Amino acid sequence: MNFLYLPIGVALFLVAIAGAATAIAFAFGFRRLWRPSGSDELKELTAWSARALGAVYALILALAFNTVMAEHTELEEAIDEEAILLVQIAEDSLEEMDEAPGRAAIEDIAIYVDAVVNEEWKAQSPATVSRTADAALERLRTRLLPLEAKNPAMVAEIDGMLDEVERRRLQRLLDLEQTLPPLFWILSILLFFAMLVPASSFTPSRASAVLIGTYGAAIGIVLYSILVLSEPFQSSMPVSDEAFRLVTSYLEHSVSAGTAP
């Protein structure tokens, strides 16, 4: 089972335990190799290095977390906007087309929504493009052709909205492939252990173990949170598909009513 799909509470607990155990084992193990003298000069140097490393590490983690959080939020907003566009296309199709072509257009939109949610969003491999969704959008464009002579302005408007839908869909597919660069994870791991070097100067005790373990658990939780947010479609906290589910409900109501609400 993919670790990213574990319930978030279970995953955070396991990450915290693993981070704490790793930090304590490394700090006390490194102390045996280092055997610090305990002089005042070494204590001052240890405190200085801990502050310097901590500042650098905090900056890197803050920038990464802010970046993935902002991208996650922007993606959810883009999905909501796409859903609104699909509803608008459905309304215009029912208003401008005859009954049979209008219902067919609604069916195409429903097929597109279903393909996106159940094929593209749930794909285990990045950037899986649904041919079903492609075909549905292409059929929608084809259904606009008979309307060009009657209402070219409306056709141009719907065609423009379809372009926006495809642009947002492409953005989703690109987001599946975009991850934090390996350099971030390398630096994060190196700095995680670098921060434990000054901590290894502490005399092993229950209190020092608790403090070092707390550091390891906290960093583990932060790194896992960054990892989860950087995988918006393939984790236990994916972006919500509620907007598209509402579009499906709207389309079902439109077809049963026969007109746009």
Phi, psi of 114 (to 5 degrees): -65, -40
**What pLDDT band is residue 261 in, cutting at 50, 70 and 90?**
very low
Phi, psi of 6 (to 5 degrees): -65, 150
Per-residue pLDDT for 179 more than 70? yes
Which amino acid is it at 126? Answer: P
**DSSP 8-state secondary structure symbol assigned to residue 232:** S
d(CA 161, CA 144): 12
Per-residue pLDDT for 260 more than 60? no
Between these two residues, 242 and 213, which has the higher pLDDT value?
A: 213
Between these two residues, 217 and 124, which has the higher pLDDT value?
A: 217
Between these two residues, 63 and 40, which has the higher pLDDT value?
A: 63
Percent of the chain with pLDDT over 90: 38
Looking at residue 118, what is its pLDDT? 84
Looking at residue 144, what is its pLDDT? 85
Mean pLDDT within 117-140: 78
The C-alpha angle 170, 260, 121, rounded to 5 degrees, equals: 25
Looking at residue 258, what is its pLDDT? 53
Mean pLDDT within 34-45: 80
Looking at residue 58, what is its pLDDT? 95
Is the model's pTM score more than 0.95? no
Structural domains of the chain, count: 1
Domain that holds residue 84: 3-257
Per-residue pLDDT for 81 more than 60? yes
Positive or negative torsion for Cα 253, 257, 259, 261 = negative
Per-residue pLDDT for 170 more than 70? yes
